[in-house]
Homo-oligomer: A and B are copies of this chain.
Amino acid sequence: MSKIIIIEDDIYLREELVNTFVKKGYSVSSIPSFDAPEKEILNSAPDLAVLDINLPGKSGFELCKWLKARASFPILILTARDTLSDELYALGLGADDFLTKPCHPDRLIARAERLLQTYGKVRNLVQAGDLILDIDTYKVIWKNAHVVLSDTEGKILQVLLERYPAIVSKQDLSLVLWGGDEYVDENILQVNMTRLRKSLDVIGLRDIIQTVRGQGYRLEVREP
């Protein structure tokens, strides 16, 4: 069953929300502390996040924007702030739905399930900013264009996307691509990097892969 994470600081409401979804059979988690919510959320790898706006530390808006630039699960905003401008702002940041408290549990469930269903169709997507990669087929989507990569090229891009925006060392890439034990010539990685760059160039993604001399490679995606 799908995995849902609740990001809500009011402990009573949090428990209530957890219960609502647990009753429906979902696997639900929530975060107890708000020191580094981003990490906890990404680590739990949810299928859906239910996000409050008024949080200690980083606001829900900031969190939403941050997550949307990196993760590929839907985000449902649930907040007591019921102004139109809040809603417009949230949707503009990429939030997938916006509900105001108090919210009938049935409505929340229905909206959440709608999102899970929609995103279920496009499972196995990795994204960073506007760039999307289907890891089953290695189809890359950007703006209005797309291209299907070969196996090796796709795997490289996948690793870069998963660790975005960090630098990935050549060694790490070789490890993932050709298994760990033996020494692998790094030339083959460079060859495939050239091929990948050429493929991405076709849809206008020139210079998206940066070389960091002596350290490795990293993606440079312009934020939405």
Contacts and interface: CB of A to CB of B under 8 A. Distances in A.
Interface in A144-179: 144, 146, 148
A87 B125 CA distance: 29
Nearest to A147: B136
Contact of A121 (B87, B113, B122, B124): B122
A110 B92 contact: yes
A132 interface: yes
B118 A96 contact: yes
A101 to B, nearest CB: 15
Interface residues of A, number: 33
This chain's copy number in the assembly: 2
A88 interface: yes
A88 B114 contact: no
Contact of A136 (B95, B104, B139): B139
A72 to B, nearest CB: 9
Contact of A141 (B95, B96, B110, B123): B123
Contact of A107 (B87, B95, B123): B87
Contact of A88 (B110, B118, B141, B144): B110
Given A134-B139, A141-B121, A104 B91 contact: no
Interface string A126-139: 00000010101101
Contacts of A113: 91
A148 B141 contact: no
A111 interface: yes
A223 interface: no
